[in-house]
Amino acid sequence: MLFLMKLLASFTTLSLAATAAAVPIFSSRGAASRTAGAAYFITNEDKNFVVVNRISPDGSVKLAGAISTRGRGAAGAMEAPGPDPLFTQDAVKVGGSNLFTINAGSNTVVMFSIDAADPARLKMVGNPVSSGGEFPVSVAFSAARNMVCVVNGGAVTNVNCYKPDAELGLVAIQGTNRPLTLPVPQTTPPTGPAGTISDIIFSEDSSKLLVSVKGVPPTPGFLASWDVAENGTLSEEFLSSPPAEGGLLPFSLTLVNGKNALLATDAGVGFETFDLNTLNGASSSPAKSQVVPIEGQGATCWSNFSNKTGTYFLTDIITSIVTEVDVLDDLSGKIVKQYPLAPGSATIDNAIAALPTNDFLYVLSPNATAIDVMALNGPGQATSVGRFDFGAVAAKLNLPVSPTRLQGMAVFVKSV
Protein backbone atom coordinates (compact mmCIF):
# COMPACT_ATOMS: atom_id res chain seq x y z
CA MET A 1 0.00 0.00 0.00
CA LEU A 2 3.02 2.31 0.36
CA PHE A 3 3.08 2.69 -3.41
CA LEU A 4 -0.54 3.89 -3.48
CA MET A 5 0.04 6.34 -0.63
CA LYS A 6 3.09 7.77 -2.40
CA LEU A 7 1.24 7.94 -5.71
CA LEU A 8 -1.76 9.78 -4.34
CA ALA A 9 0.40 12.18 -2.34
CA SER A 10 2.51 13.03 -5.38
CA PHE A 11 -0.31 14.30 -7.58
CA THR A 12 -1.09 17.99 -7.94
CA THR A 13 -4.36 19.52 -9.05
CA LEU A 14 -4.87 22.26 -11.61
CA SER A 15 -8.23 23.55 -12.80
CA LEU A 16 -8.48 25.49 -16.04
CA ALA A 17 -11.72 27.18 -17.08
CA ALA A 18 -11.93 27.63 -20.85
CA THR A 19 -14.02 26.57 -23.80
CA ALA A 20 -12.34 24.95 -26.80
CA ALA A 21 -13.61 25.30 -30.33
CA ALA A 22 -15.37 22.31 -31.88
CA VAL A 23 -13.44 22.54 -35.17
CA PRO A 24 -9.77 21.99 -36.08
CA ILE A 25 -7.52 24.79 -34.85
CA PHE A 26 -3.96 25.26 -36.02
CA SER A 27 -1.18 27.60 -34.98
CA SER A 28 1.51 26.94 -37.59
CA ARG A 29 0.32 26.53 -41.16
CA GLY A 30 2.71 26.12 -44.06
CA ALA A 31 5.44 24.34 -42.06
CA ALA A 32 5.02 20.90 -43.67
CA SER A 33 8.34 21.04 -45.53
CA ARG A 34 10.19 21.52 -42.22
CA THR A 35 8.28 18.73 -40.47
CA ALA A 36 9.84 15.30 -39.93
CA GLY A 37 6.79 13.90 -38.16
CA ALA A 38 4.26 14.62 -35.45
CA ALA A 39 3.55 13.72 -31.82
CA TYR A 40 -0.01 13.40 -30.56
CA PHE A 41 -1.82 13.30 -27.21
CA ILE A 42 -5.37 14.07 -26.04
CA THR A 43 -6.68 16.86 -23.81
CA ASN A 44 -9.24 14.41 -22.38
CA GLU A 45 -11.38 17.37 -21.24
CA ASP A 46 -15.18 17.50 -21.34
CA LYS A 47 -14.65 18.55 -24.98
CA ASN A 48 -11.89 16.21 -26.03
CA PHE A 49 -9.21 17.19 -28.59
CA VAL A 50 -6.22 15.49 -30.18
CA VAL A 51 -3.29 17.87 -29.69
CA VAL A 52 -0.83 17.83 -32.60
CA ASN A 53 2.86 18.73 -32.24
CA ARG A 54 5.21 19.10 -35.21
CA ILE A 55 8.47 17.19 -34.93
CA SER A 56 11.44 18.95 -36.54
CA PRO A 57 14.37 17.06 -38.11
CA ASP A 58 16.44 17.80 -34.98
CA GLY A 59 13.80 16.09 -32.81
CA SER A 60 12.40 19.25 -31.24
CA VAL A 61 8.63 19.76 -31.11
CA LYS A 62 6.19 22.63 -31.34
CA LEU A 63 2.44 22.66 -30.80
CA ALA A 64 0.78 22.90 -34.21
CA GLY A 65 -2.87 22.78 -33.21
CA ALA A 66 -5.71 20.46 -32.25
CA ILE A 67 -8.74 18.70 -33.67
CA SER A 68 -11.94 17.70 -31.92
CA THR A 69 -12.64 14.03 -31.24
CA ARG A 70 -16.37 14.85 -31.20
CA GLY A 71 -16.68 13.37 -27.76
CA ARG A 72 -16.04 13.82 -24.06
CA GLY A 73 -12.99 12.95 -22.06
CA ALA A 74 -13.18 11.73 -18.48
CA ALA A 75 -11.05 10.96 -15.44
CA GLY A 76 -11.02 8.02 -13.10
CA ALA A 77 -11.77 8.56 -9.43
CA MET A 78 -8.81 9.04 -7.09
CA GLU A 79 -8.52 10.22 -3.53
CA ALA A 80 -6.33 13.06 -4.77
CA PRO A 81 -6.93 13.86 -8.48
CA GLY A 82 -3.76 14.17 -10.52
CA PRO A 83 -2.00 13.20 -13.77
CA ASP A 84 -2.73 9.89 -15.53
CA PRO A 85 -6.53 10.20 -15.36
CA LEU A 86 -7.18 7.03 -17.40
CA PHE A 87 -4.56 4.89 -15.56
CA THR A 88 -3.31 3.59 -18.93
CA GLN A 89 -0.86 3.54 -21.82
CA ASP A 90 -1.98 3.78 -25.49
CA ALA A 91 -4.96 6.10 -25.12
CA VAL A 92 -3.69 7.34 -28.50
CA LYS A 93 -2.37 4.88 -31.10
CA VAL A 94 -0.85 5.37 -34.54
CA GLY A 95 -1.32 2.47 -36.96
CA GLY A 96 -0.19 2.80 -40.57
CA SER A 97 -1.37 6.21 -41.79
CA ASN A 98 -4.15 6.47 -39.21
CA LEU A 99 -4.53 7.61 -35.64
CA PHE A 100 -6.96 6.00 -33.21
CA THR A 101 -8.09 7.33 -29.86
CA ILE A 102 -10.91 7.20 -27.33
CA ASN A 103 -13.54 9.38 -25.70
CA ALA A 104 -13.66 7.93 -22.20
CA GLY A 105 -16.64 10.05 -21.21
CA SER A 106 -18.67 9.24 -24.34
CA ASN A 107 -17.81 5.52 -24.58
CA THR A 108 -16.63 5.97 -28.17
CA VAL A 109 -13.59 5.22 -30.34
CA VAL A 110 -12.38 7.54 -33.11
CA MET A 111 -10.30 7.14 -36.28
CA PHE A 112 -8.35 9.91 -38.04
CA SER A 113 -6.34 9.78 -41.25
CA ILE A 114 -2.86 11.31 -41.11
CA ASP A 115 -1.69 13.47 -44.02
CA ALA A 116 1.56 11.76 -45.05
CA ALA A 117 2.90 15.02 -46.52
CA ASP A 118 2.07 16.96 -43.36
CA PRO A 119 1.48 14.71 -40.32
CA ALA A 120 0.23 17.72 -38.35
CA ARG A 121 -2.95 17.53 -40.46
CA LEU A 122 -5.56 15.06 -39.26
CA LYS A 123 -9.00 14.28 -40.69
CA MET A 124 -11.67 12.27 -38.92
CA VAL A 125 -12.77 9.20 -40.90
CA GLY A 126 -16.41 8.27 -40.43
CA ASN A 127 -17.95 9.01 -37.05
CA PRO A 128 -17.09 8.12 -33.46
CA VAL A 129 -18.31 4.56 -32.82
CA SER A 130 -19.42 2.79 -29.66
CA SER A 131 -16.63 1.19 -27.66
CA GLY A 132 -18.97 -1.66 -26.76
CA GLY A 133 -18.51 -1.02 -23.06
CA GLU A 134 -17.94 1.80 -20.59
CA PHE A 135 -14.93 4.09 -20.08
CA PRO A 136 -12.66 3.05 -23.01
CA VAL A 137 -9.04 3.65 -22.05
CA SER A 138 -6.58 2.06 -24.48
CA VAL A 139 -6.30 1.07 -28.17
CA ALA A 140 -4.32 -1.60 -30.03
CA PHE A 141 -3.61 -1.94 -33.77
CA SER A 142 -2.58 -4.94 -35.86
CA ALA A 143 -1.38 -4.37 -39.43
CA ALA A 144 -1.33 -8.13 -40.09
CA ARG A 145 -4.98 -8.56 -39.13
CA ASN A 146 -6.03 -5.05 -40.20
CA MET A 147 -7.71 -4.70 -36.81
CA VAL A 148 -8.18 -2.09 -34.12
CA CYS A 149 -9.18 -3.19 -30.62
CA VAL A 150 -10.22 -1.16 -27.59
CA VAL A 151 -10.40 -2.11 -23.92
CA ASN A 152 -13.08 -0.65 -21.65
CA GLY A 153 -12.25 -0.10 -18.00
CA GLY A 154 -15.51 0.97 -16.38
CA ALA A 155 -18.47 -0.92 -14.93
CA VAL A 156 -18.85 -2.72 -18.29
CA THR A 157 -15.30 -4.02 -18.67
CA ASN A 158 -14.48 -5.75 -21.94
CA VAL A 159 -12.62 -5.65 -25.26
CA ASN A 160 -14.13 -4.88 -28.67
CA CYS A 161 -12.56 -4.81 -32.15
CA TYR A 162 -13.04 -3.12 -35.54
CA LYS A 163 -11.88 -3.06 -39.14
CA PRO A 164 -10.50 0.37 -40.11
CA ASP A 165 -12.13 1.48 -43.38
CA ALA A 166 -10.73 4.41 -45.38
CA GLU A 167 -14.22 5.77 -46.03
CA LEU A 168 -16.44 4.47 -43.24
CA GLY A 169 -13.98 4.64 -40.37
CA LEU A 170 -14.21 1.93 -37.70
CA VAL A 171 -16.50 -0.99 -38.52
CA ALA A 172 -17.25 -3.37 -35.64
CA ILE A 173 -16.15 -7.01 -36.03
CA GLN A 174 -18.70 -9.55 -34.83
CA GLY A 175 -17.37 -12.06 -32.33
CA THR A 176 -14.90 -9.69 -30.66
CA ASN A 177 -16.87 -8.17 -27.78
CA ARG A 178 -15.51 -10.18 -24.88
CA PRO A 179 -15.96 -9.58 -21.13
CA LEU A 180 -12.96 -9.06 -18.85
CA THR A 181 -13.38 -9.97 -15.20
CA LEU A 182 -11.41 -7.77 -12.80
CA PRO A 183 -10.18 -8.65 -9.27
CA VAL A 184 -12.79 -6.23 -7.91
CA PRO A 185 -15.74 -5.07 -10.08
CA GLN A 186 -15.26 -1.49 -11.29
CA THR A 187 -17.48 1.57 -11.50
CA THR A 188 -17.89 4.18 -14.25
CA PRO A 189 -15.64 6.10 -13.99
CA PRO A 190 -13.33 3.53 -12.42
CA THR A 191 -11.60 4.03 -9.09
CA GLY A 192 -7.83 3.63 -9.19
CA PRO A 193 -5.10 3.34 -9.95
CA ALA A 194 -5.19 -0.10 -8.26
CA GLY A 195 -7.58 -2.60 -9.78
CA THR A 196 -7.85 -0.87 -13.16
CA ILE A 197 -7.10 -1.71 -16.80
CA SER A 198 -3.61 -0.69 -17.93
CA ASP A 199 -2.94 -1.42 -21.63
CA ILE A 200 -3.94 -3.47 -24.68
CA ILE A 201 -1.63 -4.82 -27.39
CA PHE A 202 -1.37 -7.54 -30.05
CA SER A 203 1.40 -10.12 -29.86
CA GLU A 204 4.11 -9.73 -32.49
CA ASP A 205 2.47 -12.32 -34.77
CA SER A 206 -1.03 -10.93 -34.01
CA SER A 207 -2.21 -14.37 -32.82
CA LYS A 208 -2.98 -13.01 -29.33
CA LEU A 209 -4.75 -9.95 -27.97
CA LEU A 210 -3.36 -9.03 -24.56
CA VAL A 211 -4.53 -6.72 -21.77
CA SER A 212 -2.70 -5.83 -18.55
CA VAL A 213 -4.68 -5.47 -15.32
CA LYS A 214 -3.38 -3.94 -12.08
CA GLY A 215 -3.87 -5.80 -8.84
CA VAL A 216 -5.49 -4.59 -5.65
CA PRO A 217 -2.75 -4.93 -3.01
CA PRO A 218 -1.93 -7.43 -1.70
CA THR A 219 -3.60 -9.34 -4.58
CA PRO A 220 -1.45 -9.10 -7.75
CA GLY A 221 -2.81 -8.19 -11.16
CA PHE A 222 -2.52 -10.28 -14.31
CA LEU A 223 -2.07 -10.42 -18.08
CA ALA A 224 -5.28 -11.39 -19.93
CA SER A 225 -4.97 -13.02 -23.37
CA TRP A 226 -7.42 -14.01 -26.11
CA ASP A 227 -6.62 -16.08 -29.21
CA VAL A 228 -7.18 -14.14 -32.45
CA ALA A 229 -8.56 -16.17 -35.37
CA GLU A 230 -7.68 -15.48 -39.01
CA ASN A 231 -11.07 -13.80 -39.50
CA GLY A 232 -10.42 -11.50 -36.53
CA THR A 233 -12.78 -13.13 -34.04
CA LEU A 234 -11.57 -13.71 -30.49
CA SER A 235 -11.70 -16.78 -28.29
CA GLU A 236 -14.74 -16.79 -26.00
CA GLU A 237 -12.70 -16.77 -22.79
CA PHE A 238 -9.45 -15.08 -21.81
CA LEU A 239 -6.53 -16.78 -20.11
CA SER A 240 -5.07 -15.10 -17.04
CA SER A 241 -1.28 -15.02 -16.50
CA PRO A 242 -0.15 -13.65 -13.12
CA PRO A 243 3.24 -11.97 -12.73
CA ALA A 244 6.01 -13.78 -10.90
CA GLU A 245 6.35 -13.34 -7.15
CA GLY A 246 6.82 -9.66 -6.36
CA GLY A 247 4.78 -8.47 -9.33
CA LEU A 248 1.74 -6.46 -8.36
CA LEU A 249 0.54 -3.75 -10.76
CA PRO A 250 1.25 -4.66 -14.43
CA PHE A 251 0.94 -1.48 -16.48
CA SER A 252 2.31 -0.76 -19.98
CA LEU A 253 2.89 -3.55 -22.51
CA THR A 254 5.79 -3.33 -24.98
CA LEU A 255 6.86 -6.09 -27.36
CA VAL A 256 10.30 -7.53 -26.62
CA ASN A 257 12.37 -7.16 -29.77
CA GLY A 258 13.03 -10.44 -31.56
CA LYS A 259 11.20 -12.52 -28.94
CA ASN A 260 7.65 -13.73 -28.54
CA ALA A 261 7.47 -11.83 -25.28
CA LEU A 262 6.36 -8.67 -23.54
CA LEU A 263 7.91 -6.14 -21.21
CA ALA A 264 5.36 -4.85 -18.71
CA THR A 265 6.13 -1.99 -16.38
CA ASP A 266 4.93 -2.61 -12.83
CA ALA A 267 4.11 0.42 -10.71
CA GLY A 268 4.63 -1.64 -7.57
CA VAL A 269 8.13 -2.95 -8.27
CA GLY A 270 9.71 -1.84 -11.57
CA PHE A 271 8.99 -4.11 -14.54
CA GLU A 272 8.48 -7.72 -15.55
CA THR A 273 8.72 -9.83 -18.69
CA PHE A 274 6.16 -12.34 -19.95
CA ASP A 275 7.23 -15.24 -22.18
CA LEU A 276 4.37 -15.74 -24.66
CA ASN A 277 5.90 -19.02 -25.90
CA THR A 278 4.60 -20.64 -22.73
CA LEU A 279 1.13 -19.13 -23.24
CA ASN A 280 -1.37 -21.67 -24.50
CA GLY A 281 -5.06 -20.95 -24.24
CA ALA A 282 -6.05 -24.44 -25.38
CA SER A 283 -4.25 -26.06 -22.44
CA SER A 284 -4.76 -23.11 -20.05
CA SER A 285 -1.01 -22.71 -19.72
CA PRO A 286 -0.14 -19.15 -18.57
CA ALA A 287 2.78 -17.02 -19.73
CA LYS A 288 5.89 -17.43 -17.61
CA SER A 289 7.01 -14.20 -15.97
CA GLN A 290 10.15 -12.69 -14.43
CA VAL A 291 10.19 -9.62 -12.18
CA VAL A 292 12.96 -6.98 -12.29
CA PRO A 293 12.96 -4.43 -9.43
CA ILE A 294 13.98 -0.81 -10.03
CA GLU A 295 15.56 0.44 -6.84
CA GLY A 296 14.07 3.72 -5.64
CA GLN A 297 11.23 3.69 -8.16
CA GLY A 298 8.01 5.46 -7.27
CA ALA A 299 5.57 4.27 -9.92
CA THR A 300 7.09 3.04 -13.19
CA CYS A 301 4.17 2.89 -15.61
CA TRP A 302 5.04 3.61 -19.29
CA SER A 303 7.51 2.05 -21.73
CA ASN A 304 8.72 1.98 -25.33
CA PHE A 305 11.51 0.38 -27.37
CA SER A 306 14.25 2.04 -29.41
CA ASN A 307 15.53 0.12 -32.42
CA LYS A 308 18.69 2.21 -32.46
CA THR A 309 19.74 1.50 -28.87
CA GLY A 310 18.12 -1.93 -28.60
CA THR A 311 16.87 -0.90 -25.17
CA TYR A 312 13.61 0.14 -23.49
CA PHE A 313 12.77 3.47 -21.91
CA LEU A 314 10.46 3.54 -18.88
CA THR A 315 8.92 6.60 -17.20
CA ASP A 316 8.02 7.08 -13.54
CA ILE A 317 5.23 9.50 -12.62
CA ILE A 318 6.44 10.02 -9.04
CA THR A 319 10.21 10.37 -9.41
CA SER A 320 10.11 11.90 -12.93
CA ILE A 321 13.00 9.62 -13.85
CA VAL A 322 13.44 7.90 -17.22
CA THR A 323 14.95 4.44 -16.73
CA GLU A 324 16.68 2.72 -19.64
CA VAL A 325 16.60 -1.08 -19.37
CA ASP A 326 17.77 -4.06 -21.39
CA VAL A 327 16.03 -7.42 -21.79
CA LEU A 328 18.45 -10.34 -22.14
CA ASP A 329 18.05 -13.53 -24.19
CA ASP A 330 16.62 -15.42 -21.21
CA LEU A 331 14.09 -12.57 -20.72
CA SER A 332 15.73 -11.42 -17.53
CA GLY A 333 16.30 -7.67 -17.35
CA LYS A 334 18.86 -5.17 -16.19
CA ILE A 335 19.05 -1.43 -15.63
CA VAL A 336 21.25 0.36 -18.20
CA LYS A 337 21.03 3.96 -16.95
CA GLN A 338 18.64 6.43 -15.33
CA TYR A 339 17.94 9.99 -16.49
CA PRO A 340 16.32 12.37 -13.97
CA LEU A 341 13.96 14.94 -15.48
CA ALA A 342 12.55 17.95 -13.61
CA PRO A 343 11.21 16.91 -10.19
CA GLY A 344 7.45 17.08 -9.91
CA SER A 345 6.81 17.18 -13.67
CA ALA A 346 4.94 13.84 -13.41
CA THR A 347 6.39 12.13 -16.47
CA ILE A 348 3.70 9.83 -17.90
CA ASP A 349 3.05 8.56 -21.47
CA ASN A 350 5.99 8.31 -23.85
CA ALA A 351 6.73 7.41 -27.46
CA ILE A 352 9.85 6.94 -29.60
CA ALA A 353 10.27 8.36 -33.11
CA ALA A 354 12.93 6.91 -35.41
CA LEU A 355 13.95 9.94 -37.48
CA PRO A 356 16.61 9.78 -40.21
CA THR A 357 18.99 11.62 -37.88
CA ASN A 358 18.39 9.68 -34.67
CA ASP A 359 15.85 8.03 -32.38
CA PHE A 360 14.08 10.48 -30.06
CA LEU A 361 12.03 9.88 -26.92
CA TYR A 362 8.94 12.06 -26.33
CA VAL A 363 7.65 12.19 -22.75
CA LEU A 364 4.41 13.90 -21.74
CA SER A 365 5.08 15.91 -18.55
CA PRO A 366 1.61 17.19 -17.59
CA ASN A 367 2.55 19.10 -14.45
CA ALA A 368 4.80 21.23 -16.67
CA THR A 369 2.32 21.23 -19.59
CA ALA A 370 5.32 20.23 -21.67
CA ILE A 371 6.91 17.48 -23.73
CA ASP A 372 10.40 16.41 -22.68
CA VAL A 373 12.54 15.23 -25.60
CA MET A 374 15.64 13.05 -25.38
CA ALA A 375 18.03 12.06 -28.17
CA LEU A 376 18.79 8.33 -27.96
CA ASN A 377 22.39 8.40 -29.16
CA GLY A 378 23.23 4.85 -28.13
CA PRO A 379 22.78 2.45 -25.20
CA GLY A 380 23.26 4.47 -22.01
CA GLN A 381 23.90 7.65 -24.03
CA ALA A 382 20.57 9.49 -24.06
CA THR A 383 20.80 13.28 -23.85
CA SER A 384 18.21 16.01 -23.39
CA VAL A 385 17.05 17.90 -26.47
CA GLY A 386 14.92 20.18 -24.32
CA ARG A 387 11.58 20.71 -22.63
CA PHE A 388 8.97 22.14 -24.95
CA ASP A 389 6.11 23.98 -23.27
CA PHE A 390 2.76 23.71 -25.04
CA GLY A 391 0.69 25.36 -22.29
CA ALA A 392 1.22 28.96 -23.41
CA VAL A 393 0.40 28.20 -27.06
CA ALA A 394 -2.67 26.21 -26.02
CA ALA A 395 -3.91 29.19 -24.02
CA LYS A 396 -3.62 31.43 -27.10
CA LEU A 397 -5.70 28.88 -29.02
CA ASN A 398 -8.32 28.86 -26.26
CA LEU A 399 -7.57 25.16 -25.82
CA PRO A 400 -7.90 23.87 -22.22
CA VAL A 401 -4.99 21.67 -21.12
CA SER A 402 -5.01 20.48 -17.52
CA PRO A 403 -2.38 18.28 -15.84
CA THR A 404 -5.16 16.18 -14.33
CA ARG A 405 -6.65 15.36 -17.73
CA LEU A 406 -3.83 15.07 -20.32
CA GLN A 407 -3.12 11.54 -21.54
CA GLY A 408 -1.46 9.55 -24.30
CA MET A 409 1.54 9.92 -26.59
CA ALA A 410 1.99 8.53 -30.11
CA VAL A 411 4.20 9.54 -33.03
CA PHE A 412 4.14 9.43 -36.83
CA VAL A 413 7.32 9.81 -38.92
CA LYS A 414 7.27 10.98 -42.54
CA SER A 415 8.72 8.68 -45.16
CA VAL A 416 12.08 9.88 -46.47
- pLDDT, one tens digit per residue, over 170-195 is 999 999 999 999 989 999 999 999 99
pLDDT at 32: 76
Note whether 281 and 253 are within 8 A (CB).
no
* Domain with residues 2-28+36-400, CATH architecture: 7 Propeller (2.130)
pLDDT in tens, 356-371: 999 999 999 999 999 9
CB neighbour list of residue 111: distance below 8 Å, 6 or more residues apart: 98, 99, 100, 124, 125, 126, 148, 164, 169, 170
pLDDT at 29: 54
E-state strands within 257-381: 261-266, 270-275, 288-293, 300-306, 311-316, 321-327, 333-340, 350-354, 359-365, 370-376
Distances (CA, A) of 367 to 18, 342, 344, 402: 18, 10, 7, 8
Helix, strand, coil distribution of the chain in percent, nearest 5: 5, 45, 50
Secondary structure element (H or E) that encloses residue 8, with its range: helix 2-10
Instruction: Indicate the pTM of the whole model.
Output: 0.93
What is the longest distance spanned by two Cα atoms in the chain? 58
Q: Which of 134, 141, 127, 85 is nearest to 107 (CA)?
A: 134
Gyration radius (Cα) of the chain, Å: 19
pLDDT in tens, 207-239: 999 999 999 999 999 999 999 999 999 999 999
Amino acid letter, residue 90: D
* pLDDT reading at 387 higher than 50: yes
pLDDT in tens, 273-317: 999 999 998 889 999 999 999 999 999 999 999 999 999 999 999
pLDDT at 85: 98
pLDDT in tens, 30-73: 577 789 999 999 999 999 999 999 999 999 999 999 999 999 99
How far is C-alpha 127 from the chain's CA centre?
A: 22
Query: What are the boundaries of each domain within the chain?
Result: 2-28+36-400
pLDDT at 24: 57
